[in-house]
Chain A
């Protein structure tokens, strides 16, 4: 029951932990360019994920979500996309940061 909901919430917590552990501070800085990019990413995600779901490429199990759909995709999937984007940028910032060695 609502396992996907729990999954994205755990994912969100893990993201903050990773961002802190790697000292990338992507999520902690309010005016970080990440947030603006995340907004644009979400617009693309809303368009394509709804298209995918409407066409039946992805099928979400309604028993495992809280029941809010925007308009075809469960709200959990919006979090999933955000977490995919945030994880990518945190790693990218970590790897591209100049190292002292």
Chain B
């Protein structure tokens, strides 16, 4: 058991929050709700894909690099991954969009 995977998640979340600060990404209350709905739905769909993929042996996890908390066949970190990476995606998309608006 190590904190390698969870460490990368913390790094990704910290990087995303830093990015959103540096580029001044702000979400209105309506947009915040949209972000939450998006993240929940995305996490459900891709965790379902992941569960099936592990059952079918498309891939597996080096469990020695995780905290060892497994839900069905998913390490806890993998589920966190499907919240944090889409959140990074939204922040990245908002930065690109804002740059595009400015250029117009």
Q: List A residues at the B interface (Cβ < 8 Å).
A: 3-4, 7, 11, 33-34, 36-37, 40-41, 44, 48, 51-52, 55-61, 64, 84-85, 87-89, 91-92, 95-96
**19 extra interface residue pairs, beta carbon distance < 8 Å, beyond A56-B65, A96-B30:** A34-B93, A36-B100, A37-B93, A40-B96, A41-B92, A52-B8, A55-B65, A56-B62, A57-B4, A58-B60, A59-B62, A84-B46, A84-B82, A85-B86, A87-B45, A89-B90, A91-B38, A92-B90, A95-B34
Most buried by B among A36, A41, A57, A61: A57
Main SS of chain A's interface residues?
helix
Of the candidates A57, A64, A91, which one forms a contact with B61 in the assembled complex, judged by CB atoms under 8 Å apart? A57
B41 nearest in chain A by CB position:
A91
Given the contacts A52-B8, A61-B58, A61-B59, A88 and B42 also touching, CB distance less than 8 Å? yes
Q: Which residues of B contact A3 (CB under 8 A)?
A: 56, 58
Total of A-B residue pairs, C-beta within 8 Å: 97
Q: Could you tell me if A92 and B61 are in contact, using CB atoms closer than 8 angstroms?
A: no
CB pair B89–A88 under 8 Å, yes or no, is yes
B interface majority secondary structure: helix
Closest A residue, CB atoms, query B65: A57
Q: Is the CB of B59 within 8 A of A92?
A: no
Interface residues on B, range: 35 or more
Q: Assess whether B100 is in contact with A33, with CB atoms less than 8 Å apart.
A: yes
Minimum distance in angstroms from B58 CB to a CB of chain A:
4
Give the residues in chain B near A7, CB-CB below 8 Å. Answer: 49, 53, 58
- B35 proximity list for chain A (CB < 8 A): 92
B35-51, CB under 8 A of A: which get 1 and which 0? 10111011001100100
- Are B34 and A58 in contact, with the CB atoms below 8 A? no
